[in-house]
Structure 1
Amino acid sequence: MSADEPREPALHVPVLLDRVVELLGPALATEGAVLVDCTLGLAGHSLALLDAHPGLRLIGLDRDPDARAEAARRIAAAGHTDRVTLVPAVFDELADVLAELGVDEVQGVLFDLGVSSLQLDRPSRGFSYSTDAPLDMRMDPSTPLTAAEVVNTYSHGQLARVLSTFGEERFAGRIASAVLREREKEPFTGTARLAELVRDSIPAATRRTGGHPAKRTFQALRIEVNDELGVLTRVLPDAVEALAVGGRLVVITFHSLEDRIVKQALAVGATDGTPPEMPFPMPELAPTLRLLTRGGEAPSDAETTDNPRAASARVRAAVRLRRAAR
C-alpha cells in the first residue's frame, strides 16, 4: 500500500443489502446452514447474514488478498471468526473448494459481481480512472496479465474486440487506433494517460452524457484481465448443483453482459424440459429452479441517492426445487 492511500478502507455500503438478506433468509434460518459468499470483498453482505442467523456457517471466497485480509478483520471484530472459513480462490473453483472442505451441499450461494469498494478506493490497484495509478486492474495481484499488457501488446483487432464486447463501446475502433498510435511513442504505464486518450478519442457531443468517457474502456479492460465473464459462465451451473433442495442462489450484477449470463443460466433451470408433443408433464424434466425475482430487480431511488455506486446494480435469485435426474 502506498503512503498516500488510506489505511482504513472507505465506509463500505453493501449494495441491495436488505433485499439480499430477505432473499437468502428462508434458506439460512436452520442451525448449521452453510452460505458460500463467492465474492467476499469486504464481507458486507456476509456480516449482515451472520448477524441475522446465529447458526449460519460461512465459506467466503475471494481472489484478492487485500480483500480477504480486511474481511477477516471485520469478521473478527464482529465476533464471527469461529463460524467462517475464508478461501483464496477464484469463484469458478467453487466445486473444488467445497470438495476439499468436505461440504456436499449448501443452503445459500451469493455473488456480488464487479469491482469491490476496496479495489476502487485504493488507487495503486489501477481500477479507477479518477486518479493516476499503475495500469494494473488484477483482482489477484499474483496473476500475470495486467491492463498495461493488454493495452501495450494486443493487436488493433483484439483491443477493439475487447472494448466493443466487454465495454459495449461504440467508438472501440477509434480508441484502439489511438492506443496503437500512442504506444509506439511510449508504452502506457498509468491510468491517467489512458483515460485522457479515451476522452480525446470520443466525439465531444458524446462526451457530454453518460458519465466519464473512459468508464466503458476501463470496464472492458478489467473484465479481460480477470476473465470475469468466463469465470461467471463456468461457475453458475456448479453453484446451482451445490444447492440443497430449498437452497437459494442470489446474484448481483452491474452491467448488462453479466446480467444476461445470469438470466440465461437461471432460465435453463426454471424451464420445464417436457417436449411440447407430450400430453402431460414429465416429472424428471420438471424445473429444478423457481425464480424469486421478476427480472433483474434494481435498487430503490433512495439507495442510489445514498450510494451512487448502486445505480447499475441488478439482483436475480432462485430457489432449488429438486435435484436433477441422473
Structure 2
Amino acid sequence: MSEEPRHVPVLLGRIVELLAPALGPTPDDPQPVFVDCTTGLGGHSAALLDACPAARLIGLDRDPEALAEATRRLSRYGDRVRLIRAVYDELPEVLADAGLSTVRAILFDLGLSSLQIDRAERGFAYAVDAPLDMRMGQDQPLTAADVLNTYDVAELTRILRVYGEERFADRIARRIVTERTTEPFTTSARLVTLLQRAIPAKSAKTGGHPAKRTFQALRIEVNAELAALEAALPAAVTALAPGGRIAVLAYHSLEDRMVKRTFAAGATDRAPRGLPVVPDELRPELTLLTRGAERPEPAEVELNPRAASARLRAAMKIERSELGGTKPGGATGGSQGMGEKAA
C-alpha cells in the first residue's frame, strides 16, 4: 500500500461560501441535512460540518477504500455523519431509505479522488506501471483491460473520441486491436508506450501527456460515469428543499456541459411564449448562483495542480409562497430526520 495521499479539496472556501447559507437551523428544520454525493476523503464535508454546526451529512461514495478513510477522518463528528456505499445516481433510493423527502444542500465533486490517483495499484495514473483496472468499486465486473482487449475498433474509437475527446481515436483504436492479437493488455506501461507512438510528436507537445485523454475515456467507460451523472443531476435538483443549494465541481468539458444544461433548464420557465400568466409548475425552479463556470485562482492551482481543470457551478432551489410567487433568500424547512448513523 502506498503512503497516505495528500488531500487538498478543490475550491474549498468557495464551496462552503455557496452551500453554508442553506445549512443554518430553522424552527421547522433544526438539523438540516446535506448530501456529499462524492465523499472521497471527506475534505469538503468536514469543512461544511465545521462551518454549519447544526448540519448533518449523508456521504455517498462507491469506493470502499475512500469510505473507510472518510469514516476515520469524519469520526469526530459522531452521529452527525452517515456514510453509505452508493453511486450518486442512487440518490433517490438513499434518501428514501433515510426517511428523507428533501435535503438542504447537495455537493458533487466529480472525477477521481486523491486516494484513487495516488494508489498506483488502482491503475488510474499513467505515470506509473500498474494493472489496467480503473474501477472505482472493486466489485464492478468491467475493467480497463476488459475494454482494451474485447471492444472492437468502432467501440474503442467511440469511447476515445466521445469520452476522451481524442483527435486520434481511430488511429489509437486500430493499433490497440492489432497489438492485442499478439498479447492482451494487462498493465498501463504498454498502453502508454503505444499511445506515445500513435500520437504525432507535434500534437503531443501541445496537448498534454499523450495518455491523458485515453485514460480519461477508459475510466469513464469502466465506471459508466456520464450515464450516472445524467441520471443523478435531475434527481438532485428534485431532492432539494425550497431554498436548498447544489454545487458541482466538474473536471472536463463533458461533465461541465451536462451540469450547465441541467442548471440552465431549471433556471428557465417552460411556458409557451406570450402566455399572460405563467402557471407555478412552469416557472423556473432554480436560481443560478455562479456566473458561468468558476475556476480556481492561479494561487490555488500552484498549490494543488489537480485543481487546474476544475469548473464550479452552483444553483439554488426557488422558494414559492402559497400564492405561487417566489421568495428570495435562504432555505426553509423540508428535511426530516436522518435516522441512525451507518457504519
* TM-score, structure 1 as length reference: 0.95
1:33 matches 2:32: yes
The aligned runs of 1:301-312 (5 Å cut-off) are 301-312=298-309
Distance in 2 (alpha carbons) for counterparts of 1:231 and 1:54: 31
The residue aligned with 2:336 is none
2-structure distance, mates of 1:16, 1:167? 24
Mean CA deviation greater in 29-38 or 158-167: 29-38
Q: CA deviation at 1:260?
A: 0.4
Partner of 1:23: 18
Distance 2:106 2:239 in 1: 8
Partner of 2:70: 71
Aligned to 1:120: 117
Partner residue, 2:327: none
Within-5 A mapping of 1:271-286? 271-286=268-283
Distance 1:158 1:175 in 2: 12
Name the structure 1 match of 2:59.
60
Residue 280 of structure 1 deviates from its aligned partner by 4.0
Question: Structure 2 residue aligned with 1:179, among 151, 162, 176?
Answer: 176
Q: Which has the higher contact order (CA 8 A, sep 6+)?
A: 2
Pairing 1:1-326 to 2, within 5 Å after superposition: 1=1, 5-6=2-3, 9-30=4-25, 31-76=30-75, 79-322=76-319
Give the drift of 1:207: 1.1
Which ranges in structure 1 are unaligned for 5 or more consecutive residues? Answer: none
1:278 to partner: Cα distance: 1.5
Deviations 1:152-196, CA, capped at 9 Å, x for gaps: 000000000000000000000010011011101100000111111
Partner SS, residue 154 of structure 2? helix
Give the CA deviation at 1:273.
1.5
What secondary structure does 2:185 align onto?
coil
SS at match of 2:246: strand
- Unaligned segments of structure 2, at least 5 residues: 325-343
2:40 match: secondary structure: coil
TM-score, normalised on structure 2? 0.91
RMSD: 1.1
Identity %: 60
Q: Give, as a single letter, the amino acid of the residue that structure 1 aligns with 2:223.
A: N
